[in-house]
């Protein structure tokens, strides 16, 4: 039974991930006074896209076709090490948070390569912006995970969230609060949410992430959309595990609580998007540097404790 549980968790993550963008959209619609899309819109989109035949430009090579598939594979593999409700994850080893970051990097790298492969000016621009922000966001994220490792004294993600309990919050509340804030900013930036990017934009000049995937169609686009949902789930579960460090011991109850908090995180993202305007492109690095500063502060606090 204990062997099955991690697999069930993984399966749940893979299945439930597309729900999160739906929740975010509903929250935004609520704030805007609209009814909004159905909650399951992304599932419908994916089903539709998977049935379609992709269209490839003659200038593209195999890189363009491989990009989305590799990206999705990398994100799915990253999900393996992500704990679920403080339970051991399917895969866990010392230093697996570095593995997580590298897989995220690989996914991004493939998306950027595929975008560049089209030779389109807009996609190149989107790719360049994506990389520029990644330069600022990755150090902060990495530093944050390192600080978390220092707080918990564990070197695997499963271990870190396994020992993170209410007591840790009582002892190290400032550090954990800073880290949560830093991760939340990383979530917004990495998933092209509002202060950094606008997922709903229709003007190529202002796009970042969306500009990169303009030429993808059919199953390739489905892979990218699904991959984006997985990434959102990944970051969301990171934050959910931070703020919900209680373990009742009962698997089902923990899992239910965890899913509730995930919904809460998605709602928080929706609220953030509704109340904030998108930052000017030149200001986005400031936000990411702020996240870096939070992580760095948390690490300093932890080191001097």
Partner 1 sequence: MNTFAELIIVFIILIDLALAVTGSLSSCIKLVALQGVVAGILPLLAMHGSPHFRAVAFAAVIIALKGAVFPWLMMRARDRSGARKDVEPLISYPASILLCLGAFIASSWLGSRLPLPETGVAWIVPASLATIFTGFLLITTRTKAITQVLGYLVIENGIYIFGLALFVEQPMMVELAILLDVFVAVFVMGIAIFHISREFDHIDTAELSELSDWRRGEDGR
Binding site for partner 1 (CB under 8 A): 170-171, 173-174, 177-178, 285-286, 289-290, 293, 296-297, 300-301, 304-305
- The least CB distance from residue 271 to partner 1, in Å, is 21
- The least CB distance from residue 141 to partner 1, in Å, is 16
d(CA 235, CA 145) in angstroms, rounded, equals: 12
**What is the per-residue DSSP string for 28-50?**
HHHHHT---S-TTHHHHHHHHHH
Kindly tell me which of 105 and 174 has the beta carbon lying closer to partner 1: 174
Q: How far is CA 287 from the centre of its chain?
A: 17
Kindly tell me which of 34 and 305 has the beta carbon lying closer to partner 1: 305
Kindly tell me which of 87 and 129 has the beta carbon lying closer to partner 1: 129
**Radius of gyration, alpha carbons of the chain:** 19
Going from the C-alpha of 284 to that of each of 80, 153, 228, 291, the distances in angstroms are: 30, 33, 20, 11
- The least CB distance from residue 297 to partner 1, in Å, is 6
Kindly tell me which of 78 and 143 has the beta carbon lying closer to partner 1: 143
Do the Cβ atoms of 230 and 100 come closer than 8 Å? no
- The least CB distance from residue 125 to partner 1, in Å, is 22
Kindly tell me which of 121 and 171 has the beta carbon lying closer to partner 1: 171
Rounded to the nearest 10 degrees, what angle do helices 96-117 and 218-243 cross at?
150
- The least CB distance from residue 288 to partner 1, in Å, is 10
- The least CB distance from residue 287 to partner 1, in Å, is 9
Do the Cβ atoms of 202 and 136 come closer than 8 Å? no
Going from the C-alpha of 291 to that of each of 78, 183, 213, 285, 295, the distances in angstroms are: 22, 8, 27, 10, 6
- The least CB distance from residue 304 to partner 1, in Å, is 5
Kindly tell me which of 37 and 290 has the beta carbon lying closer to partner 1: 290
d(CA 5, CA 295) in angstroms, rounded, equals: 32
How far apart are the two ends of the chain, measured CA to CA in Å?
Answer: 40
d(CA 151, CA 254) in angstroms, rounded, equals: 23
Kindly tell me which of 71 and 285 has the beta carbon lying closer to partner 1: 285
């Amino acid at each position: 039974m204990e062997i099955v549980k991690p697999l069930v968790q993984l399966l749940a993550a893979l299945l439930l991930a597309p729900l999160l963008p739906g929740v975010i959209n509903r929250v935004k619609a609520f704030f805007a006074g609209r009814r909004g899309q159905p909650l399951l819109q992304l599932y419908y989109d994916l089903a539709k896209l998977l049935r379609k035949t992709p269209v490839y430009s003659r200038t593209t090579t195999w890189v363009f076709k491989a990009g989305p598939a590799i990206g999705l594979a990398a994100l799915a593999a990253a999900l393996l090490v992500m704990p679920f409700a403080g339970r051991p994850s399917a895969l866990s080893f010392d230093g697996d948070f570095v593995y997580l970051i590298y897989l995220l990097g690989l996914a991004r790298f493939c998306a950027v390569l595929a975008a560049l492969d089209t030779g389109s000016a807009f996609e190149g621009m989107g790719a360049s912006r994506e990389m520029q922000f990644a330069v600022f966001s990755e150090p902060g994220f990495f530093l944050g995970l390192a600080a978390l490792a220092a707080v918990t004294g564990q070197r695997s993600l499963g271990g870190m969230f396994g020992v993170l309990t209410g007591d840790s919050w009582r002892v190290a509340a400032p550090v954990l609060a800073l880290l949560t804030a830093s991760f939340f900013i990383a979530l917004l930036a990495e998933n092209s949410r509002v202060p950094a990017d606008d997922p709903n934009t229709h003007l190529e000049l202002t796009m970042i992430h969306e500009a990169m995937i303009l030429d993808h169609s059919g199953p390739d686009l489905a892979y990218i959309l699904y991959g984006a949902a997985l990434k959102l789930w990944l970051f969301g579960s990171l934050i959910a595990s931070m703020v919900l460090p209680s373990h009742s011991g009962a698997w089902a109850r923990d899992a239910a609580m965890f899913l509730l908090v995930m919904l809460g995180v998605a709602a928080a993202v929706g609220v953030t998007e509704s109340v904030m305007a998108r930052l000017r492109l030149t200001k986005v690095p400031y936000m990411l540097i702020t996240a870096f500063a939070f992580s760095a502060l948390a690490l300093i606090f932890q080191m001097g404790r």
